Amino acid sequence: MKIYSKKGLNEFHQSLTYDDISLIPTEISRIKSRTEANTSIDFLGLNLSLPVISSPMDTVTGIEMASMLTKLGCLGILNRFDSSLEEILRDKKNGNEIRAISIALNTTLSDVEKLVEKQNIICLDTANANNQEVLKRTEEIKKKFGNIKLLVGNIAHGATLQSLENAGADAVRVGIGSGSVCTTSIQTGIGIGQVSSLLNVVFAREEKKLNIKIIADGGVKSPGDVAKAIALGADAVMLGRMLSGTKETPGEVIKYNGQLWKKYRGSASFGVKMRNEFIEGEETMVAYKGTVKNVIDNISDGLRSSMSYMNCFNISELRKIETFAILSNSSYLERLPKI
C-alpha cells in the first residue's frame, strides 16, 4: 500500500472526497488519553475550543444556535434569510453572544455599520466568490470598516485566492456543490471533490505565502471527516447537515409516523429563493437530534481520538500530518458498521 503525502494527494489523477481517503497512524503516540489532545484554535481574533463553524443556512443558524455555539466554544454564523438579522439591526436582541453574521451582496453599508458595532466577523454569503462584484464589495467593506474580519465564499480552486486576499478577505469558504442539499454540481457541472478542492487552495496559499484563513465547507458527514479536513490543512470546518435537526436550529419539531423531525434545506432551495429564481438546493427532513451540545461533544471526542491515534497534541500538529491512504470502494465499505 502506498502512503500519500498531501502533495501526493493533490497530484492524484482523480478528484477525491473525504470518503476516498483515510488518515494512517505511522508513529508511536505520546498521548495517554484523548483528553490530553488540545482542540482549541485562534481564528480571526477569537479563541475557539473546537475548530467548528456553523453554516449560515436558514434551517441551521438562527439566534439560538449562534448563541449556543458561542457558549460551546465554537462559532455560529447567523443566517441572513429570516427575521434574526432584522432583530439584531433593530436592537431587539443585543447580539452580545452572536459573534458572526452573514450578509448579502446588496446589504447596505448603513446596515453593515450597525452590525460592525456589535459583531467581530461578517460573512459575505454568496455562492461564488470568484466574481467581480464580490471583490468590489469586499474592498468597500474593508475600506470603510477596516477592523472587521471578513469571511467570503465559496471557491473550489486556489487560482483566485490571491485576488480575494488582496481585496481584503480574511477567510474563505472552500467547496462548491458538495453540500448534502446542494444541487449546484448537478445543475451547473461545477465543482470537484472536497479533498482535492481543499488541497488545491491550501497549496495555493502556501505557494503565494498568503495569510487568508481556509474553511472547509461542505461534504463533512462525521467527526472523522472533521479530522481529515484539519489534517489536510483547513483552519476550521463549516457544518450544515451535522448540526441540522438539533433543538437550537430554527423551525418547529414535527412528529411524523411516530418519529420527530426538523426541516433542512439548502440556501438556494425553493423555500428560500423567490419563484422566478434559479434553484440550486433541495429541501428535506432530518431526524430530530436533541440539543446541539450532544453533536458538538461527539465531534470533540472524535477529533481528540483521531489526534491521539495520529500522535498530535494540538491542532497545529494535526495540520502537519503527511500520511494518508487512498481507499478503494471496497476498502471504504469495509469500514462501515455492519448492523
List residues with catalytic annotation: 182
In whole angstroms, give the CA distance from residue 150 to residue 155. 15
Counting other chains too, the contacts that 78-81 makes at CB distance below 8 Å and 24 or more residues apart are: 78/102, 79/250, 79/267, 80/56, 80/104, 80/107, 80/125, 81/267, 81/272
Note whether 171 and 213 are within 8 A (CB).
yes
83's grid cell: 427575521
Q: For helices 63-71 and 292-309, what crossing angle results, to 10°? A: 40
The dihedral sign for the CA sequence 61, 65, 66, 69: negative
Nearest CA among 311, 303, 302, 216 for reference residue 24: 311
Is the preceding omega at residue 154 within 30 degrees of 0, hence cis? yes
Q: What are phi and psi of 45, to 5 degrees?
A: 90, 0
